[in-house]
Amino acid sequence: MKTEIGVDKTSEPTTEREDVSSRVDLAVALGEVSMANPVMPASGCFGPELAHLLPLEQLGAVVTKTVFAVERAGNPAHRLTETAFGMLNSVGIPSPGSERFRNGLLRQYQAGSGNVVVSVGGLFTQEYYTIAEDLADEDIAALEVNVSCPNLEHGGLAIGTSPQGVADVVQGIRGITDLPLFVKLTPTVSSIGEIAKAAEDAGATAVTVSNSFSGLAVNIYDRASALGSGAGGYTGPAVKPLALKLVHDAAQAVDIPVIGCGGISTAEDVIEFLIAGATAVQIGTATFTRPTAMSEIIADLEPLCHRLNVSKISELIGTLDTPTPSRNLS
């Protein structure tokens, strides 16, 4: 039997929102980007067309779907399939191109939210530079540089699998714009800390940890992938422990903020990521079945902080009590 996508059955979500005499400060900062709370959507998971369900101004920031310099159609159907504890997607990042984005969807985001973070991608290193130039003068809070895109310069491997590849992209964009840069990392690496450090040294303001995990679903009746393009990105509650570990490893390796992403569906999940080292979080899969999930989570954060005896949510960041390995003296 399948579990509802985005709902973590292992933890009991906060249901009470008691009245309190003192307010909790939910504010966090990602470099110069000040946020009223640490919650934002993951790229591509929530847009202005859903603002009637969740006013975008409630969020700490909004993150757009990844935009490329040129128009892209995306992958063939089927693009999404549910699994027991999450979902696989292979949307293929369709994009209107930078010009149509700037004159259309970007204006809708700007009309509904104060902090707009534009996710940018590229199939070639130069494409990142082009889209950065196109957006350099726009009124946006930051660019999120998605280095998990397949790099056609190197046989389709994600740019983010190489520290030097990440450095080249970030350094090039940093030379074009002074906008804050959040670099979204792939989990498919041997050392997330090494990649995060490369992004920091190249000029990143923060790193987002992480993008989806590679996965496969099989249709046993036609012996083919359930997705039209084969494998896809796996997201949902099942990846939360993996993402938490990556966040902790990245936070130990860098001095810039880490944005946690992966399997978050409750306020308790958010707090776990902050304790592990994240400064802010992104929520994706949970919004597919609960479009109001982020609003509910934000409402639950304050009473939860009261129960944890903190007056500022930022007090929780990086407070994980990590046991010191014992030495075997025998």
* The pLDDT value given to residue 309: 97
Angle at 192 between CA 237 and CA 132, to 5 degrees: 95
Q: CB-side exposure of 250: number of CA atoms within 13 Å?
A: 34
Give domain status of residue 20, yes or no: no
Give domain status of residue 47, yes or no: yes
Give domain status of residue 12, yes or no: no
The answer to whether the bond into 191 is cis (omega within 30° of 0) is no
Give domain status of residue 36, yes or no: yes
Residue 223 binned pLDDT confidence (cut-offs 50, 70, 90): very high
pLDDT at residue 13 greater than cutoff 60:
no
In tens, the pLDDT along 47-79 reads 888 888 888 889 999 999 999 998 877 666 676
Average pLDDT over residues 195-223: 94
Structure-token pair, residue 106: 């970007």
In tens, the pLDDT along 237-255 reads 999 999 999 999 999 999 9
Give domain status of residue 19, yes or no: no
- The residue among 5 and 293 whose pLDDT is bigger is 293
**How deeply is 80 buried, as exposed, middle or buried, from its count of CB atoms within 10 A (0-12, 13-18, 19+)?**
middle
22: how many CB neighbours lie within 10 A of its CB?
8
* The pLDDT value given to residue 53: 84
pLDDT at residue 14 greater than cutoff 50:
no
Give the CATH number, domain containing residue 214. Answer: 3.20.20.70
* The pLDDT value given to residue 57: 87
Give domain status of residue 99, yes or no: yes
Structure-token pair, residue 207: 């790193």
In tens, the pLDDT along 132-153 reads 999 999 999 999 999 987 665 6
* The pLDDT value given to residue 3: 44
Range name among 5-19, 112-126, 179-193 with the lowest pLDDT average = 5-19
Structural domain boundaries, residue 199:
28-316
Range name among 37-41, 268-272, 324-328 with the lowest pLDDT average = 324-328
The CA distances from residue 212 to 22, 89, 171, in Å, are 38, 9, 24
Give domain status of residue 330, yes or no: no
DSSP per-residue letters across 105-170: HHHHHHHH-S-EEEEE--SSHHHHHHHHHHHTTS--SEEEEETTSB-GGGTT-BGGG-HHHHHHHH
The pair phi, psi for residue 323, each rounded to 5°, is -60, 145
pLDDT at residue 187 greater than cutoff 60:
yes
Average pLDDT over residues 210-214: 90
Structure-token pair, residue 296: 């509910």
Catalytic residues, by residue number, are 149
pLDDT at residue 169 greater than cutoff 70:
yes
In the DSSP assignment, the letter for residue 211 is -
| Nearest in space to 98 (alpha carbons), one of 74, 64, 125, 75 | 64
pLDDT at residue 125 greater than cutoff 60:
yes
* The pLDDT value given to residue 303: 97
> Number of folded domains in the chain?
1
pLDDT at residue 185 greater than cutoff 90:
yes
Contacts of 225 (CB under 8 A, 6+ apart): 216, 217, 218, 219, 231
CB-based contact 109:116 (threshold 8 Å): yes
pLDDT at residue 219 greater than cutoff 80:
yes
| 232-235 and 213-215 beta bridge pairing | antiparallel
* In the chain, % of residues over pLDDT 90: 67
Give domain status of residue 328, yes or no: no
Place of tokens 């399939």: 81
Average pLDDT of the chain is 88
* In the chain, % of residues over pLDDT 70: 86
* The pLDDT value given to residue 4: 46
What gap in Å lies between CA 16 and CA 137, rounded to an integer?
A: 44
pLDDT at residue 110 greater than cutoff 80:
yes
Question: Which segments within the chain are labelled E, that is strand?
Answer: 28-30, 33-35, 39-41, 62-63, 80-83, 86-89, 116-120, 142-146, 181-185, 206-209, 213-215, 218-219, 224-225, 232-235, 258-261, 280-283
What gap in Å lies between CA 139 and CA 292, rounded to an integer?
A: 27
Residue 156 binned pLDDT confidence (cut-offs 50, 70, 90): low
| Nearest in space to 172 (alpha carbons), one of 183, 157, 186 | 183
